[in-house]
Structure 1
């Protein structure tokens, strides 16, 4: 891979965006007033401030207008991130932050709240007895039971060496602990060796500037152990940095293009080229994908499939094959603007098509939880049903309706960062790849 060329390409893209903005002059009151739609927008803002019954949150209104403007493109990959979310995003990208050493997931069906999905060794949460399943109630004096997950993350993180008081609930009983924030490094690569000396490396995301370094170290470790084959797991990896994807592919290819970019003028340019390195892995390779493998994951699987370097096993991938330019805005927010599409080495489009595996296997790791709905009972009445041999009690709402959704089985994860936990017996995709290698 020509790393220098990649850097130049990205800089050029950023410069192009800046020039385009300068040429347009941006939207000003003068050129907005030149169209009926522009005059309508300006008048609406004025009338809203003048006539609305309640105080107008100017910041919220204008950010809503920004979100609406990008939303009108009907492109889910062109969007606006508010400054608060952008700050978290930037820390995730850097791969380091001051934290307590836990992984979070939403606690409520609507995606709000937070609960502990994993506790990592060596950090204050583990040392103070925080456990998987504990739910966040308060951070300091702030109630977070229905807060957005990013808001909980923002409150938990902070300067290394500082402390935060967190109130958790465990089996309905609250407890409060004071936790010291320490330097947390996001480890996005997990590995292990399967029976028969088969190597396994899982890449959880490409949205981490440390991914390439972590992946190279994992591959080197597998080569040192002289594994008889390697399985690369890209399932549920939604992508991230294109550079990181290119660098992963470069660990397996010795020459040739990895991915190309095509802009709206249909001009196509090779983005990354493989080069022969002493660190390359040249043994047998299987790549695992599922319907949630997207973006850079599809660049990797597509390149390795086109070059016949790997056998792709699993489900049809998501089909996100476009590149975005991140634009930092004056308010500290960020706009991601789709700028080009990706093509595999053989010129295949990925967007809205995805990658079809060489061997199609359904992902059996997670089953759909039991759920039911009903009606026709008195408001507030409790109903107990037997679900999978256990009693479940639900309460009817004001309309006499009741619902139940079982908890989705959480994946088993190691408390040691970088250590993968897998199960050949319940994981059909992994088992198929393993058998093919043997």
Structure 2
């Protein structure tokens, strides 16, 4: 069972390497094919590798789905979407031509027949190269930026272009929109055309460099993502690229990067680093530009290799780097955000749990409240296995912090799990054990339907039994949801903040080479969902996450950010409840009282009111997917976006003077402030 509990945070990484290339043969379609362009074909090992992947998925994936006509149709759509998510390269006729394969993929793949994948990719390259030619034609003439015109960035529901005339109209707007971003930065058309020309020259170069392994990985991921969004295939080069300069990337912004076609994406945020502290960079954000310092111009990095982008972002501690980023919830043709970060050297200590005491005055009483921030659930496996006595772990560190807080005297304790994406399951269980007497913490149902009950094993000892609150947001996931869900189910503390992410699945990494006799060929790996988390009540954390007892305003809707918004996510369900005994320190009556208090605060507290207003404005703007291509309208929109970002990161009234550092801190963080006010009320009740 232990190997099932390894939760891996990996993403798809498409790299370049020498592949199987042969001279092109004329396509049966009417596409133009350049004699200089080489066609890609499957490698000899891909056929047997595909057979192994399908058998592993059919036999061991948690969904228990069989590759049939229904799944074949999903793979078909996934593949086209992965190559052309914005419907700007393929024509409708291309989709119509390949429609004959929609229900044949389930028959072809087990036989190792990959013709569909390579034919589609060949057309994709040809269409893309044709678009590159058109882009260079467009850049010869400056567009009219005074014209009242709009571009629909969310093209998911739109039809594929019928012909090149429609496609040209789309691309004219794409280039105009991208040019406007430069125009707003004060660039003249000559410089804009040169910058965009270089960008698309790099994209064109990449099109010639794609190899057989790139095509195979993209196709296999169209297959694996049909099972669930956390099942992935990694080609041999992808495994290497994911690790590229990762140790060095810790001296910089504290983010791991990966590559998907022409774009560099955020793979993971390192807790404690500049990216984590900014709270403005998230997983799957795309980096399109990098600038050194506060004054240097942005360098367009679309089409760059991963290692080249890493080198641009890295730099000495204390230096400034600015990034142009397309957020994960925006179309690639949407407006980029500019994020300023100060590089730093990332150390384990910065990723570790930290504590502080914040006094809160409610009525005529002042409460001394402890806050423990936990960026991730960490455990130094190497030191633990080698017998190091004082190895680092979340639970060990939190115990020390609680000891320190108790010595200073605190009236209540808050565990801040905002932006905690998870980590060690073992640590989530042991940390829960610090607050409950004994009993199960989480249930894990395996692919064979067997259920493992993971229990607190500290012999009934409660390390802290005082008033407790847990603060969550939409980025609290996986192990964070196990901890907060258990605290809620045991009625041990109140959960306040936003609904959590909703990732309740377990993945394991499988080396495909173990199932093949070809020892002389390096093969890929399969990250596959093999189990699912359930709360002690039997309810899954999958998709629903953990709903707070007191819900704070959130800028994110479930369908925009969270597991429930991911295609083919496993459904929520429930199993039998485990045998556990509630502490009943939190009652429905108490929660109702705290909810009423929170509603009063919403009517009275200026920081909360400002936050609610900015969140509503952000939600409204997010719904507006039609982007203006008029210079003045775009300038006003950019100013409004920047104002919202500033106000969401801090609702501090610049005209207000704070003599107390804590008051300033809480005004800048309304979520923490409100959570502590509710914890103070909880402490008052306990004292009373």
TM-score by length of 2: 0.43
TM-superposition CA deviations, 1:161-181 (whole Å, max 9, x none): x979988469xxxxxxxx9x9
Q: CA deviation at 1:304?
A: 1.3
Corresponding residue for residue 445 of structure 2? 262
Corresponding residue for residue 408 of structure 1? 645
Corresponding residue for residue 64 of structure 1? 218
Asked if 1:221 is matched to 2:404, the reply is: yes
Corresponding residue for residue 359 of structure 1? 550
The 3 A distance-change label for structure 1 pair 49 and 165 is farther
Q: CA deviation at 1:288?
A: 1.8
Alignment partner for residue 347 of structure 2, among 181, 184, 189? 184
Q: CA deviation at 1:61?
A: 0.8
TM-superposition CA deviations, 1:285-306 (whole Å, max 9, x none): 1112234332211111111122
Contact 1:77 1:336 (C-alpha < 8 Å) held by counterparts? yes
The 3 A distance-change label for structure 1 pair 49 and 376 is closer
Q: CA deviation at 1:101?
A: 5.2
Asked if 1:203 is matched to 2:357, the reply is: no
Contact 1:301 1:312 (C-alpha < 8 Å) held by counterparts? yes
Partner secondary structure for residue 76 of structure 1: coil
Corresponding residue for residue 528 of structure 2? 337
Partner secondary structure for residue 383 of structure 1: helix
Counterparts of 1:335 and 1:47, CA distance in 2: 24
The 3 A distance-change label for structure 1 pair 97 and 334 is farther
Q: CA deviation at 1:193?
A: 0.8
The 3 A distance-change label for structure 1 pair 332 and 233 is farther
The 3 A distance-change label for structure 1 pair 49 and 384 is closer
Counterparts of 2:544 and 2:317, CA distance in 1: 46
Unpaired segments of 5 or more residues in structure 2? 7-47, 56-104, 127-206, 275-288, 324-342, 360-366, 381-392, 514-521, 555-607, 651-661
The 3 A distance-change label for structure 1 pair 320 and 154 is same
Q: Which has the larger radius of gyration?
A: 2
The 3 A distance-change label for structure 1 pair 332 and 242 is farther
Which structure is higher in helix share? Answer: 2
TM-superposition CA deviations, 1:252-306 (whole Å, max 9, x none): 2231111111123322111233314878222221112234332211111111122
Aligned residues: 359
Corresponding residue for residue 683 of structure 2? 437
Counterparts of 2:3 and 2:305, CA distance in 1: 33
The 3 A distance-change label for structure 1 pair 163 and 422 is closer
Contact 1:99 1:156 (C-alpha < 8 Å) held by counterparts? no
Counterparts of 1:336 and 1:206, CA distance in 2: 21
The 3 A distance-change label for structure 1 pair 323 and 39 is closer
Corresponding residue for residue 423 of structure 1? 666
Q: CA deviation at 1:208?
A: 6.6
TM-score by length of 1: 0.63
Corresponding residue for residue 79 of structure 1? 232
Q: CA deviation at 1:80?
A: 4.1
Corresponding residue for residue 114 of structure 2? 42
Counterparts of 1:299 and 1:63, CA distance in 2: 33
The 3 A distance-change label for structure 1 pair 310 and 376 is closer
Counterparts of 2:345 and 2:625, CA distance in 1: 48
Q: CA deviation at 1:97?
A: 6.0
Q: CA deviation at 1:383?
A: 1.3
Q: CA deviation at 1:333?
A: 6.7
Corresponding residue for residue 289 of structure 1? 472
Counterparts of 1:88 and 1:216, CA distance in 2: 36
Unpaired segments of 5 or more residues in structure 1? 1-8, 15-24, 121-134, 171-178, 386-391, 396-402, 413-418
Counterparts of 2:542 and 2:427, CA distance in 1: 19
The 3 A distance-change label for structure 1 pair 254 and 61 is same
